Amino acid sequence: MSTTPSGAGDRLVQVGAIVFFVGALATLVTVAPLFLGTDPFPPIAYGVCMLMGVGFLIAGVGVVRSAWANSPKRAANS
pLDDT in tens, 27-65: 999 999 989 989 988 888 889 999 999 999 999 999 999
- Please check the confidence at residue 21 and state whether its pLDDT lies above 90: yes
Cα(78)–Cα(72) distance, rounded to whole angstroms?
10
Q: Which pLDDT value is given to residue 7?
A: 79
Instruction: Spell out a b/e string for 68-78, using b for 16 or more CB atoms within 10 Å of the CB, else e.
Output: eeeeeeeeeee
Percent of the chain scored above 70 by pLDDT? 86
Residue 64 near residue 7, CB atoms below 8 Å: no
Average pLDDT in the chain: 86
Q: How much is the average pLDDT of 13-23?
A: 96
